[in-house]
């Protein structure tokens, strides 16, 4: 039997496309796609198993977290974020964060505003989805700051960031923080605890074959196997790099 999730651990799930796609010549595209039918099965299953989606604001504002908190993220802002993911999230009273590539907008400004007004969080995924570690400071600024400003120009509050391809360096993280973004997610596999760096948050990528027990065991195996050494490791990192690490919280309050 699966053990109960410990409340101070926050899994973040990663989605890309919510679409029917089985082009066998494009294994990457297939891997990044969850069918609308399976997506709803996954969300329904999480809901039935008492997971509570929280937003990054809930995480950082020191509010008391519900039991079994989980964050859902959607990278790249494809059209199906609006047509497939958004209606299902609303139906189950869930929330999600959608990271947008501002120079390749698949969604209209109105759709983005509508999603935010309905409780969804819109985040920054840069202007052009380039490999950030290859860029100089000036280019980094225009990829990150310009993207954030564009969203703000649309009336969207954009506070959270996703590194394209999950790639970042110390320099990249420093600029993300400097421009006023409060968090950033990577593609490194794992679950976040309160001492994790909020600019290097871990995620669990969800695929089309993850549903039911399969999905829960993927989340829970992470929760069960990592926490002890992770707490230990994060404590040491926090001690060594005192001012360079920005923990999610110093303490986690749970109900
Ligand atoms: Zn991406």
Q: pLDDT tens for residues 122-143?
A: 999 999 999 999 999 999 999 9
What six digits make up the tokens of 203?
């995620």
**Spacing, Cα 147 to ligand 1 middle (Å):** 14
Mention every residue, 6+ apart, whose C-beta is less than 8 A from residue 133. 167, 168, 169, 172
Ligand 1: centre distance to CA 236 (Å): 31
Q: How far is the CA of 187 from the centre of ligand 1 (A)?
A: 10
Which pLDDT score is estimated for 172? 97
Are residues 182 and 198 in contact, defined by beta-carbon separation less than 8 angstroms? yes
Whole-number Å distance, alpha carbon 242 to ligand 1 midpoint, is 30
In the reported structure, the alpha carbon of residue 36 is separated from the centroid of ligand 1 by a whole-number distance in angstroms of 19
The pLDDT tens digits of the residues spanning 67-106 come to: 889 999 999 999 999 999 999 999 999 999 999 999 999 9
The span from the CA of 220 to the CA of 118, in Å, is: 29
Ranges of residues in the chain with a pLDDT under 50 are 1-7
| Ligand 1 midpoint to CA 71 (Å) | 17
Looking at residue 215, its pLDDT comes to 82
Angle subtended at Cα 29 by Cα 24 and Cα 30, rounded to the nearest 5 degrees: 55
Distances (CA, A) of 31 to 13, 42, 90, 124, 216: 14, 16, 25, 23, 19
CA of 100 to the centre of ligand 1 (A): 8
Distance 76 CA to ligand 1 centre (A): 5
C-alpha 97 to ligand 1 mean position (Å):
13
Give the pTM.
0.90
Q: How far is the CA of 206 from the centre of ligand 1 (A)?
A: 14
Can you tell me the distance from the alpha carbon of 205 to that of 241, in angstroms, rounded to the nearest whole number? 28
Radius of gyration of the chain (CA): 17
Alpha-carbon distance values, 132 to 86, 105, 161, 181 (Å): 29, 19, 13, 16
CB 34 within 8 A of CB 42: yes
Write out 48-111 in H/E/C secondary structure: HCCCEECCHHHHHCCCCECCCEEEEEEEECCHHHHHHHHHHHHHCCCCCEEEECCCCCCCCHHH
Residues 93/110, Cβ–Cβ less than 8 Å: no
Q: Which domains does the chain have, with CATH numbers?
A: 9-240 (3.20.20.370)
**Residue-level pLDDT at 253:** 56
Write down the H helix ranges in the chain: 27-31, 36-48, 56-60, 79-80, 86-91, 109-117, 137-153, 170-178, 213-225, 227-240
Which residues place a Cβ less than 5 A from the ion ligand 1?
Answer: 75-76
Q: How far is the CA of 99 from the centre of ligand 1 (A)?
A: 8
Q: Give the pLDDT of residue 216.
A: 79
Residue 182 Cα to ligand 1 middle (Å)? 19
Nearest Cα residue to 1 out of 226, 228, 225, 220? 220
């Amino acid at each position: 039997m699966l053990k109960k999730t410990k409340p101070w651990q926050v899994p973040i799930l990663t989605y890309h496309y919510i679409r029917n796609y089985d082009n066998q010549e494009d294994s990457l595209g297939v891997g990044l796609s969850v069918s609308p039918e399976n997506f709803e099965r996954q969300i329904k299953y999480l809901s039935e198993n008492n997971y509570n989606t929280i937003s990054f604001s809930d995480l950082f504002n020191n509010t008391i977290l519900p039991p079994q908190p989980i964050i859902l993220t959607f990278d790249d802002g494809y059209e199906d974020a609006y047509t497939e993911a958004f209606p299902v999230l609303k139906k189950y009273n869930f929330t999600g964060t959608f990271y947008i590539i501002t120079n390749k907008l698949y969604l209209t400004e109105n759709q983005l505003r509508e999603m935010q007004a309905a409780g969804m969080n819109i985040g920054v995924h840069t202007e052009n989805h380039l490999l950030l570690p290859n860029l100089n400071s000036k280019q980094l600024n225009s990829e990150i700051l310009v993207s954030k400003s564009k969203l703000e120009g649309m009336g969207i509050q954009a506070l959270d960031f996703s590194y394209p391809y999950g790639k970042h360096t110390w320099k990249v993280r420093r600029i993300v923080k400097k421009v006023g973004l409060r968090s950033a997610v990577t593609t490194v596999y794992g679950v976040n605890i309160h001492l994790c760096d909020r600019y290097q948050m871990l995620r669990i990528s969800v695929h089309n074959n993850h549903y039911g027990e399969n999905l829960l065991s993927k989340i829970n195996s992470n929760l069960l196997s990592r926490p002890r050494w992770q707490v230990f490791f994060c404590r040491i990192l926090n001690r060594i790099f005192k001012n360079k690490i920005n923990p999610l919280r110093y303490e986690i309050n749970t109900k």
